[in-house]
Amino acid sequence: MTKHDKDKEKQSQTAKAESLSSDKPKLKGKEYTQELLKLQTELCLLQDWIKHTGERIIVVFEGRDAAGKGGTIRALTERVSPRTFRVVALPAPTDREKTQMYIQRYLTHFPAAGEVVIFDRSWYNRAGVEYVMGFCTKEQHRGFLKVCPTFEQYIVDSGIKLVKYWLEVDNEEQKRRFEARIDDPMRQWKLSAIDLPSRERWYDYSKARDMMLDATDTPWAPWYVIHSNDKKRARLNCLSHFLSLFPYEPVPHEKVKLPERSMKHSYDDDAPMINRHWIPEKY
């Protein structure tokens, strides 16, 4: 390694350390909402461009439990069409799927022209939870890390844009979020049978993460790491970065005029609704 390379690596490590130790103040709700709306407006423009150009895009979200994947995906998708931005969150494989080629059940969800498929956890389950919790063998894990870069090369070579995000949350913040889930009835559904054991195996997950990143962070499908201790900043940073990956521009639309209601075949459409089963108006 040359002196230039060593200096570059040192700068990269310093930047990463500064990012992970960042102590920026929490975003105020109004400021967050304003910035989020700006980015979501741009996402609507991006959506038009994707449909117009026929782009095919896959977005992978990975990270530890309680890293903020769900909230970030909601921020990305809540203002766009679910027919264009499609979220895939697969359950545990069935007995039949366990006998298939490992990647097979993911392939059926890949995008057609004009679609964005967002994987809320993906084939990288094998590199994380399956490996740490013993749901796959060490040989299967090694085989996955060996084959995955080639598989993703085929994805990219086929014309699909593959974007991979890793949300990085630290130990204390994950603990705080788990405790909040235990106490809050509106969050308890987020606690799975795997979540609590993951707290005990923090360092096992750290080692699995590092092996995964070392093996699959490639020039054709790099991992983009998001510091997610502050959920609001993480969402804004993710959306901003995602938009920066595409040379989108506004797609021209013909102006339309809302037609007037025709009175040619007028009909009293209110009277038949009077005695229907209307719900009580409590609010």
**Count helices and strands in the chain by DSSP H and E runs:** 11, 5
pLDDT tops 90 at residue 187: no
pLDDT tops 80 at residue 279: yes
DSSP structural state of residue 134: T
Give the residues across from 116 on adjacent strands: 57, 85
- According to the CATH classification, is domain 46-248 in 1.10.579.10? no
pLDDT tops 50 at residue 30: yes
Query: Vertex 275, ends 270 and 279: CA angle to 5°?
Result: 100
CA–CA gap between residue 24 and residue 28 (Å, rounded): 12
pLDDT tops 70 at residue 23: no
pLDDT tops 70 at residue 13: no
pLDDT at 166: 98
pLDDT tops 90 at residue 240: yes
pLDDT at 140: 98
Identify the burial level of 283 via C-beta atoms within 10 angstroms of its C-beta, where 0-12 means exposed, 13-18 middle and 19 or more buried. Answer: exposed
pLDDT at 194: 74
Q: Which CB contacts under 8 angstroms, 24+ apart, belong to 20-25? A: 20/168, 20/170, 20/227, 22/227, 24/230, 24/233
Give the pLDDT mean for 16-38.
78
CB 227 within 8 A of CB 20: yes
pLDDT at 21: 46
Percent of all residues in the chain with a pLDDT value above 90, rounded to a whole number: 77
Q: Which residue has the higher pLDDT, 196 or 76?
A: 76
pLDDT tops 90 at residue 43: yes
Query: Vertex 135, ends 130 and 139: CA angle to 5°?
Result: 85
The SS3 call for residue 112 is coil
CB 43 within 8 A of CB 118: no
Give the pLDDT mean for 153-166.
98
Q: Which residue has the higher pLDDT, 20 or 154?
A: 154
pLDDT at 181: 86
Segment 118-133, tens digit of pLDDT: 999 999 999 999 999 9
Ordered by start, the domain boundaries in the chain are 46-248
CA atoms in the 13 A half-sphere facing the CB of 124: 26
pLDDT at 22: 55
Q: Give the H or E element holding residue 115.
A: strand 115-120
pLDDT at 136: 96
Report the length, in residues, of the chain.
283
**248 Ramachandran zone, left/alpha/beta (phi>0; psi -120 to 50):** beta
Q: Which residue has the higher pLDDT, 264 or 129?
A: 129
What tokens does 179 get?
Answer: 């405790």
Give the residues across from 226 on adjacent strands: 167
DSSP string across 62-104 = EESTTSSHHHHHHHHHTTS-TTTEEEE---SPPHHHHTS-TTH
CB 176 within 8 A of CB 65: no
- On whether the pTM is more than 0.95, the answer is no
pLDDT tops 50 at residue 6: no
Percent of all residues in the chain with a pLDDT value above 70, rounded to a whole number: 92
